[in-house]
Amino acid sequence: MNKHYYITTPIYYINDVPHIGHAYTTIAADIMARFKRICEYDVFFLTGTDEHGQKVEKAAQMQGIHPRELADRTVHRFIDLWNTLNISNTGFIRTTEERHRKVVQHIFEKAFERGDIYLGSYEDWYCVPCESYFTELQLKNGVHCPDCHRPTEKLKEESYFFKLSNYEDRLLKLLERQNDFILPEIRFNEVASFIKGGLRDLSVSRTSFTWGIPVSMNTNHVVYVWFDALANYISGIGFLEDDDLFNTFWPCDAHLIGKDILRFHAVYWPSFLISVGIPVPKHIFAHGWWTIEGQKMSKSLGNVIDPNEIVEQYGVDEFRFFLFREVPFGLDGDFSKNAILHRVNGDLANDFGNLVSRSATMIGKFQKGKIGEPEKKGGTDEYVEAQIRSLTDRYCKDMEVFSYYKALQHIFEITSTLNKYIDTEAPWKLAKENDPRVKTVLYNLWNGIRIAAMLIYPFMPKKSQSIWNAIGVRKPIENIHFDEERVFYHTDNIAEIGKVAPIFPRIEG
């Protein structure tokens, strides 16, 4: 295999309980990883946990344990959830690992040697939950954090600074050269105007707490959590440790993140990389945020959605599917149980599920469960074949640029074309009249379903396999070679086809 693809999720704060927002980014990355694998890329898919910082230190203190112990206890919440959601990550990085510490200290030292990091002192308004400083002008009502709206406190500390102010031009040139560096476009514009507004040097060390990676040349300081966290994208893929691995996959193809952490990824991260002479990533894709039944999700409102609960009620693949069918990836969306119910019963049970059961039953009844290649064509046969081909092409183009919503629309256009095809061609009539076209119509239905299942595989890895099983395809769907199998197909070695139990049973509200 000589095509490579590297995709990442943010690393999640260890002190949080995983919620729908974390699941969203991770499933999005999993969808791309699976898509690229069936397109024959060798994929490295990295996720992990962000385990340092004052928040973790405080949470551990409250429980009377060492922060390391807190991290060890809670990391499993994430690992377990990723197993439940069928996430196919190939790497998992914890910022408390030794391999990560070495990388963070190394790039800090290198940036220092290059003259991009210097020692100074800092006085400003600090928000503990966001681990960020703000100027007085940025505060809400003179005291509150502009991001989370909680009260900030005035802090003065000695600090190392990164000369971000030196990077304005280089970043703007980068945006010019790589005009798809930040996706979608509205996020690109947001970053460009932020940079044009002027960049202040960035404080990259702290002395007010100790739970972090020590600055090697001055151990009174720990490295700022964001400098530490961003480096996961290289420490998790063998930087300093496994040159082959690192050189194969870096620069990263896509960092998937939420819109709230765009500045860290699109401004700070490339500046750190440029400073130490490492190429910048190819794309950063920032998605929108989920509200819950119209409200911001928050612990205090008690409306935080636990993905484990949703999955128990609606199913893993149904949840994965819903997140990307409901809202264009990149925009904000609203989550409600009613909306899931509507999607599962409408798109899945009525459209896709019915199509599979009707077709399988007809193949059982009219062809003794066998599928044969078409001989005689007529009616809307050619139109349906062309339509499937063109929708498959459009699906591929949209998948490439994370337009999951459109990609799913194309799949459902295939299923609705096939449902209409059944109605217009009425295979039961053709069978009654002994018309050989019945073989063509049933082949086209079978082939259309086979392709639609392949297209939905990255979103629904298990259910797509159930669909293949229902239509007698005897192989693991995850091993497909998409390019070879998307149109033509050998019909030998197909198991007998007949009536099947519903693949997407209707869910009662």
Q: Which residues bind ligand MSP (CB under 6 A)?
A: 10-13, 16, 21-22, 24-25, 50, 229-230, 232, 257-258, 260-261, 289-290, 297
Burial class (CB in 10 A: 0-12, 13-18, 19+), 466: middle
Residues linked to residue 156 through DSSP beta bridges, in sequence order: 123
Token pair in block for residue 210: 């100790």
Nearer to ligand MSP, 289 or 489 (CB): 289
Minimum gap (Å) between residue 224 Cβ and ligand MSP:
12
Residue of minimal CB distance from ligand MSP?
258
Nearer to ligand MSP, 40 or 97 (CB): 97
357 contacts: CB under 8 Å, gap ≥ 6:
470, 499, 500, 502, 503
CB 21 within 8 Å of CB 297: yes
CA distances to 358, 368, 465 from 355, in Å: 5, 19, 16
Nearer to ligand MSP, 7 or 230 (CB): 230
Per-position b or e across 267-298, b if 16+ CB within 10 A of its CB:
bbbbbbbbbbebebbebbbbbbebebeeeebe
Nearer to ligand MSP, 24 or 167 (CB): 24
Nearer to ligand MSP, 11 or 223 (CB): 11
Nearer to ligand MSP, 269 or 443 (CB): 269
CA distances to 121, 392, 455 from 412, in Å: 58, 11, 10
Minimum gap (Å) between residue 271 Cβ and ligand MSP:
14
Instruction: Provide the angle, in degrees to the nearest 10, between the axes of the packed helices 20-38 and 307-314.
Output: 60
Interatomic CA distance for residues 314 and 386, integer angstroms: 35
Pairing status of strand 153-162 against strand 202-203: antiparallel
CA distances to 69, 177, 425, 474 from 467, in Å: 44, 44, 23, 11
Minimum gap (Å) between residue 230 Cβ and ligand MSP:
5
Nearer to ligand MSP, 335 or 468 (CB): 335
Minimum gap (Å) between residue 30 Cβ and ligand MSP:
14
Minimum gap (Å) between residue 11 Cβ and ligand MSP:
5
Minimum gap (Å) between residue 412 Cβ and ligand MSP:
24
Q: Where are the beta strands (DSSP E) in 366-421?
A: none
Nearer to ligand MSP, 257 or 454 (CB): 257
Minimum gap (Å) between residue 403 Cβ and ligand MSP:
18
Nearer to ligand MSP, 217 or 301 (CB): 301
Minimum gap (Å) between residue 129 Cβ and ligand MSP:
10
Nearer to ligand MSP, 74 or 359 (CB): 74
Nearer to ligand MSP, 223 or 438 (CB): 223
Cα dihedral value 473, 474, 478, 479, nearest 10: -110
Cα dihedral value 187, 188, 191, 197, nearest 10: -120
Residue in the block written with tokens 């005009």: 179
Minimum gap (Å) between residue 461 Cβ and ligand MSP:
22
Minimum gap (Å) between residue 156 Cβ and ligand MSP:
26
Count the helix, strand and coil residues of the chain and give each as a percent rounded to the nearest 5: 50, 15, 30
Nearer to ligand MSP, 24 or 366 (CB): 24
Interatomic CA distance for residues 12 and 47, integer angstroms: 8
358 contacts: CB under 8 Å, gap ≥ 6:
422
8: helix, coil or strand?
Answer: strand
Minimum gap (Å) between residue 377 Cβ and ligand MSP:
48
Instruction: Provide the angle, in degrees to the nearest 10, between the axes of the packed helices 269-276 and 98-113.
Output: 70
Strand order of the β-sheet with 254-258 is: 91-94, 42-50, 4-13, 254-258, 283-287, 182-183
Minimum gap (Å) between residue 34 Cβ and ligand MSP:
20
